[in-house]
Amino acid sequence: MKLLFKQRFFSWLDSYDVYNESGETAYTVEGRLSWGHCLEIHDAAGRHLGTIKEEVLSFLPRFNIFLGDKQVGTIRKEFTFFKPSFTVDCCGWDISGDFFEWDYEILAGGREVASISKELFNWTDTYTIDVADPRDALMALMVVLAIDAAKCSQRS
């Protein structure tokens, strides 16, 4: 299953549309006004599915992942000198790849859960997320959103 994740051009807060392979809206992501990033994920019908919230009082970016109102994991940027590194405490997943080039994979026990690549030369952030099992699509999307938000936090 492929997802195309595009940031909206005219938006004060982080807002994204996520399309499936057929070009139909699969998810919408709305940024909320708060200290740190707060992103709410909705399905195509507008039902709230999950939230990503940044912990603002941490040295490096750290994001909590919620499905509904239940916290199910954390993503945090690790301290490194040369190559960005992230740790996912969720679903037994690991992340590896080239974060400078925006291409990376989400792995579970060596099995690829999803591969992510950023499309260059677009007006807004645009990613392709190739998910092996459609049941992992929402969580994979939330990991990508958290990493994108962490990179934005480091730039500002």
What confidence tens digit (pLDDT) does each residue in 3-29 have?
A: 988 876 554 567 889 999 999 999 999
Return the half-sphere exposure (C-beta side, CA atoms, 13 A cut-off) of residue 124: 12
Give the model confidence (pLDDT) of 61-72 as tens digits: 889 999 999 999
* Lookup: tokens for 115: 């591969």
Give the model confidence (pLDDT) of 83-114 as tens digits: 667 888 888 999 888 766 578 999 999 899 99
What share of the chain has pLDDT > 90, as a percent? 46
**How many domains are there within the chain?**
1
At residue 156, the pLDDT reads: 46
Domain holding 135, by residue range, is 2-155
At residue 96, the pLDDT reads: 86
CATH of the domain at 92: 3.20.90.10
Helices (H), 10-130: none
Q: What is the pTM of this model?
A: 0.86
Return the half-sphere exposure (C-beta side, CA atoms, 13 A cut-off) of residue 91: 22
* Lookup: tokens for 118: 């950023």
* Lookup: tokens for 119: 């499309």
pLDDT > 90? residue 141: yes
Once rounded to an integer, what is the mean pLDDT over residues 37-57? 92
Mean pLDDT of the chain: 84
